[in-house]
Amino acid sequence: MIATALSALMSHWRRHPLQLTTLLAGLALATGLWSAVQAINAEARASYNEAALQLGGVPLPELRAANGTIALETYVALRRAGWQLSPVLEGRVQLGNTWVSVMGVDPLSHPGLPAMRPTDGAPLTTFTQMFAHRDTIADIGTQAQDTRAQELPLTSSTQVPLGMVLGDIALAERLLDQPGRISRLLILPQQPLGLKTRQPLSVLAPDLIRSIPDRGADTARLTDSFHLNLTAFGLLAFAVGLFIVHGTVGLAFEQRRPMLRTLRALGVPLRSLSLLLLGELILLAIVAGGIGLILGYLVASALIGDVAATLRGLYGAPVEGSLTLRPIWFVSGLGMAVAGALLASAQALWRLHSMPLLAAPGVLAWGQHSARSDRGMALAGLGLMGAGGLAVLIFDGLVPGFALLGGLMLGAALMLPGALGLALRFGQSRTRGPLAYWLWGDMRAGLPGLSLALMALLLALATNVGVSTMVSSFRLTFTGWLDQRLSAQIYVSTINDAQGDELRAFLAGRVDAILPIRYGEVRIDGQDMRVYGIVDHASYRDNWPLLDGAPDVWDQVAKGKGALINELLARRNDLWPGEPGENDAQLQLGGGWVMPVVGVYSDYGNPAGQIIVSLDSLLAHAGPLPNRQFGLQLDPADTHALVRDLNGAFDPPLAGVLDQSSLKAHSLEIFDKTFVVTGALNVLTLGVAGFAILTSLLTLWSMRLPQLAPVWALGLTRARLARLEVVRSVALAGMTALLALPLGLVLAWVLLAVINVEAFGWRLPMYLFPWDWLVLLGLTLVAAAAAAALPARRLANAPPAELLRVFANER
């Protein structure tokens, strides 16, 4: 009996292959997009974990000295008193033309450094080599005229973070010229059994401060935002896919209603029938999930390189550009497919239970909502939006920002059917002609069946508008800022200070101005940042992009009476110039050097704080600094010739000559790479939403016949009806797109003004791009027309007998 019932149930799919395809495709798309995002996230996280392991795994508590360095004797005394500690020496040094972080450890006591562990086939070089990422070595190597860089025995290791050189403390102290110094002492987890002689650290070394480091916390926060972003996209895509599944399963159930009724009447128990339907569903989910996993893997493989580039470009986070299959990813992908399918079919299964054995199947039963349920949904939507808003008001951080986004999006989606219903009713009331009147009414009647697909479309469109507005605003701001910031025509680096003097002599009379670019480093609140010293020049006054500051800010800086700081530092440490009549915030630069903050400038793309003071102030406090980088002001027309001359004029050659335009091109290239993933996901979600419309229309097709047959019988040709079908679909999609626009703009605002500030520390002005909206609207209408084309074609070609059969009252 079971086998017979099963074959009866399955025969439905044989007779409706398109429906089966739709179901499988919807679920596969949902699973695919979701698991692609998960795969990318998992890969990136694994990379971070690796990076964390490189630097000693779980951060250990540590000892630091108030003055910054711990004497070697202190370390040895503590070891001899029975404390298991491991020394770390850290600092920065300029190698070639690059500043690198140097980390020196004692391999004999350090709890674990994979980078320094020998690997098969590699020379065993822990005590004699230093290790760095190959990109870091490339940065050092290409310009390594510096003898120190040339003598440095550097080995390439992907396990060292970018910009860092890692090695034995004996090599590090020579490189940093800090013999016998230690920056911090790790307190190792395994301490020996205390004999009576062992005293607490607070007694043995009262001037050392014990702390738990939050090293890398900032990177974690930044990358978290990126992953939240991706996850949000993944969930959105999954939800869109589930709309498709819900529609298809509901329809299949509806169409099999007579069959189910017959089977039950023939004596198949409800329990068996339910289990059979459930089993069928799970089987389909597993098949679709499997296809989805393959899709997801392909999408992730295609994107991972760009994601790696994005993360490296944005945060310097080390992510490998290749994908490894992880079992957890496989399991979670299939799990999502099955859970999603069950969730989407819960309603259909529930109906099977509550279906009266002898009830006649209603033509309009499926997918119909009352106006009351629209109101309920709209209220729930309002509630969600309110909750998101509250979250941002009450809590700080990225998560409430994303909660606001989620609340807005989901809330708006829930309110969509109500809003469309109102609009359609308004349209109908303004119409006189009978056909138009019917068309409006027909749209209203069909709305419930399409509403899920339209919700998916709304979400996809709003995301598209929001994210592209953000990215475009970002790009526009960034380009403008580059134009301002890179105001010199040529940037030159010399190999040493002496060549700097030669350069000045060479340039005398050939340029309008030579602006030295010199900087030192300071540590503020545990963060290392650069302090630039500038000479007073009109190009700064004319071009430098200031966000805040008094009119005489440049005079104050030139006189050494104030400092400019970048937006990130200003927001993070809440340091702003005072309003007229008020005092400016005071910036503590360490070593008793205090400067009032007289202005704040935008510094997009820089993840670190930055400070500008007058060159004289900087040299007075930071001592002698290298003088090897210069910006040259000259007539743009002469740039080309001068670059050529500069490249040939020095022996040994200059360390670098960059003209502003290629620098800009390079910066923009990095920027575009940064957001390439966003673009790809945008296109994919829009595609999925278009597919949702198609499947909904297909799903509704058989139910449309009873509604269309009377109109056909009244004299409208099939071709005309088919055209009206397309119009109907395009009109609904167009209305949805119009509603999606404001939602998208709100989304963009949240991204720019809430998420960005939390994630990156800067706020961007919002620009509007109506042309992009028009393109998007056009795309949407085309997608809607294309989705309606297939059912419309079917209608146009439907044999009259099929239409006539509606009147046969066969049911």
Partner 1 sequence: MSVRAWAIQCGLVLGMLWLAPFSLLAQGFAGQGFAGLGSDATGFATPDATYRLEFPADHGAHPDFRIEWWYLTANLRGDDGRDYGVQWTLFRLALKPQEAPGWQSPQMWMGHAALTTPDRHFVAERMARGGIGQAGVNAAPFEAWIDEWRMSGDDLNRLDLQASGVNFAYDLRLAATGPLVLHGVDGYSVKSAAGQASHYYSQPSYQVEGVLHLPGGKVKVTGQGWLDREWSSQPLAADQTGWDWFSLSFSDGAKMMGFALRGGEAPFVSGTWINSDGSVMAIDGDMLQLDPLEYTQVEGRDIPVIWRVRLAQMGVDVIVTALNEQAWMGTSFPYWEGPVQVSGSHSGVGYLEMTGYE
Phi, psi of 71 (to 5 degrees): -75, 145
| 375 phi/psi in degrees, rounded to 5 | -65, -40
Output the smallest distance, CB 216 to partner 1, in A: 23
State in Å, rounded, how far the first CA of the chain is from the last one.
Answer: 26
Separation between Cα atoms, residue 294 and residue 271, nearest integer Å: 35
Query: Is residue 808 within the footprint of partner 1 (CB under 8 A)?
Result: no
Candidate list 15, 117, 523, 666; residue touching partner 1; CB under 8 A: 117
Of 7 and 128, CB closest to partner 1: 128
Q: Which of 170, 349, 476, 727 binds partner 1 (CB under 8 A)?
A: 170
**Integer angstrom CA distances of residue 409 from 225, 232, 375:** 18, 11, 18
- Shorter beta-carbon distance to partner 1: residue 69 or 109: 109
Q: Rule CB under 8 A: is residue 128 a binding residue for partner 1?
A: yes
Q: Tell me: does residue 201 bind partner 1 (CB under 8 A).
A: no
Regarding 118 and contact with partner 1 (CB under 8 A), the answer is yes
Interface with partner 1, residue 152, by CB under 8 A: no
3-state secondary structure 64-103: EECCCCEEHHHHHHHHHCCCCEEEEEEEEEEECCEEEEEE
Closest by CA position to 486, among listed 353, 315, 632, 612: 632
Select 79 or 763, whichever has its Cβ closest to partner 1. Answer: 79
DSSP 114: G
Phi and psi, residue 490, nearest 5°: -135, 140
Q: Segment 727-766, which members bind partner 1 (CB under 8 A)?
A: none
Residue (126 or 472) nearer to partner 1, CB: 126
Out of 180, 335, 590, 800, name the contact with partner 1 by CB under 8 A. Answer: 180
Per the CB < 8 A criterion, the answer to whether 124 and 82 are in contact is no
**Is 180 or 321 the residue whose CB approaches partner 1 more closely?**
180
Sole binder of partner 1 in the list 125, 231, 272, 472 (CB under 8 A): 125
CB of 111 within 8 A of CB of 60?
yes
Asked whether the beta carbons of 70 and 63 are under 8 A apart, the reply is yes
**In this chain, which of 123, 206, 356, 799 binds partner 1, going by CB under 8 A?**
123
Give residue 113's identity as a one-letter amino acid code. L
Query: Amino acid letter at 67?
Result: N
Minimum CB separation of residue 125 from partner 1 in Å reads: 4
DSSP letter assigned to residue 753: I
Indicate the pairing of strand 154-156 with strand 130-132.
Answer: parallel
Q: Select the span of 195-203, 331-339, 621-629, 704-712 touching partner 1 (CB under 8 A).
A: 195-203
Question: Site residues for partner 1, window 71-110 (CB under 8 A)?
Answer: 72-73, 75-76, 79-82, 84, 106-110
> Min. distance of Cβ 188 from partner 1 in angstroms?
11
Cβ distance to partner 1 smaller for residue 58 or 195 = 195
Of these, 197, 202, 429, 583, which contacts partner 1 (CB under 8 A)? 197
Per-residue binder mask for partner 1 (CB under 8 A), 449-478, x = binder: ------------------------------
* 528: three-class secondary structure by DSSP: strand
Q: Site size for partner 1, by CB under 8 A? A: 39
Q: For residue 312, give both structure tokens.
A: 């490296």
Tokens encoding 620: 């007075």
Please choose, from the candidates 539, 531, 491, the residue with its C-alpha nearest in 3D space to the C-alpha of residue 625. 531
**Closest approach of Cβ 112 to partner 1, in Å?**
8
* Residue 137 Cβ vs partner 1, minimum distance, rounded to whole Å: 18
The radius of gyration computed from the CA coordinates of the chain, to the nearest angstrom, equals 34
323 with 225: CB under 8 angstroms?
no
Least distance between partner 1 and beta carbon 168 (Å): 8
What element of type H or E holds 211? strand 208-211
Instruction: Kindly indicate which of the ranges 170-178, 242-250, 401-409, 430-438 contains the residues binding partner 1, using the contact rule CB under 8 A.
Output: 170-178
CB of 113 to partner 1, least distance (A): 9
Q: Give min distance, CB of 178 to partner 1, in A.
A: 11
Q: Which is nearer to partner 1, 182 or 403 (CB)?
A: 182
For 392-400, the CB contacts below 8 A with 24+ separation are: 392/754, 396/758, 397/758, 398/221, 398/224, 398/225, 398/228, 398/755, 398/758, 398/759, 399/228
Stretch that binds partner 1, among 70-78, 159-167, 659-667, 798-806 (CB under 8 A): 70-78
Cβ–Cβ under 8 Å, residues 743 and 704: no
Rounded Cα–Cα distance for residues 307 and 303 (Å): 6
Provide, rounded to whole angstroms, the least separation between the CB of residue 84 and partner 1. 8
CB of 110 to partner 1, least distance (A): 8
Q: Which stretch binds partner 1 (CB under 8 A): 2-10, 120-128, 412-420, 747-755?
A: 120-128
Of 198 and 644, the one with the shorter C-beta distance to partner 1 is: 198
Count Cβ atoms within 10 A of the Cβ of residue 118 and give its class: 0-12 exposed, 13-18 middle, 19 or more buried: exposed
Question: What are the counts of helices (DSSP H) followed by strands (DSSP E) for the chain?
Answer: 26, 21
Residue 675 corresponds to which tokens in the numbers above?
A: 């957001």
Q: Pick from 25, 149, 169, 245: which binds partner 1 (CB under 8 A)?
A: 169
Looking at the Cβ atoms of 82 and 679, the one nearer to partner 1 is: 82
Give the interface segment with partner 1, choosing from 20-28, 112-120, 353-361, 576-584 (CB under 8 A): 112-120
Question: 192, 356, 624, 770: which one contacts partner 1 (CB under 8 A)?
Answer: 192
Task: Kindly tell me which residue out of 22, 31, 98, 129 binds partner 1, with binding defined by CB under 8 A.
Answer: 129
What distance in Å separates the CA atoms of residue 579 and residue 232, rounded to the nearest whole number? Answer: 40
Q: Give the contacts of 645 (CB within 8 A, at least 6 positions apart).
A: none
Q: Does 124 bind partner 1 (CB under 8 A)?
A: yes
Nearest distance from residue 172's CB to partner 1, in Å? Answer: 9
Q: Is 190 in the site for partner 1 (CB under 8 A)?
A: yes
Q: How far is the CB of 93 from partner 1 (least distance, A)?
A: 17
β-bridge mates for residue 187, sequence order? 85
Query: CB-wise, 73 or 651, nearer to partner 1?
Result: 73
Identify the three-state secondary structure at position 598. strand
Least distance between partner 1 and beta carbon 88 (Å): 12
Which is nearer to partner 1, 53 or 535 (by Cβ)? 53
Residue recorded with tokens 């709309």: 243
Q: Which residue in the set 168, 442, 603, 725 belongs to the binding site for partner 1 (CB under 8 A)?
A: 168
**Residue type at position 194:** G
**Do the beta carbons of residue 625 and residue 94 sit within 8 Å?**
no
The site for partner 1 (CB under 8 A) is made up of 72-73, 75-76, 79-82, 84, 106-110, 116-118, 123-129, 168-170, 173-174, 179-180, 190-195, 197-198
